[in-house]
Amino acid sequence: MEKNLIHSNELHFIDKKRIHRAVEQLVESLELAAGSTTGFNLYAVVESYFTDLDKRKAINRLLNLEQSICEEVVQTPYQSFA
């Protein structure tokens, strides 16, 4: 059976409950005490990134991941994306 993958132009279709479950798995995997606390909320960040195009663009700008920049980034032997 072939899996229907979600593409970047369809991220807003992902159910918010499913996003929260995925963040819970991330929190557990990284052995974090919590996914949200004062001034820190992975749930809100990930949900906003997936469901709100304007916020996704703003986050990408903050991280210098704007579309034109993303396409130009090439990893050199001296860079690490870990």
Q: For 9-68, what is each residue's pLDDT tens digit? A: 888 889 999 999 999 999 999 999 999 988 889 999 999 999 999 999 999 999 998 765
CA angle 46, 57, 80 (to 5 degrees): 70
pTM, two decimals, is 0.69
Q: Which residues have CB under 8 Å from 52's CB, separation 6+?
A: 12
Q: Which two tokens stand for residue 48?
A: 């906003």
Closest CA to 55 of 45, 63, 64, 65: 45
Taking phi over 0 as left and psi of -120 to 50 as alpha, with beta for the rest, 37 belongs to beta
Give me the residue spans of the domains in the chain. Answer: 13-72
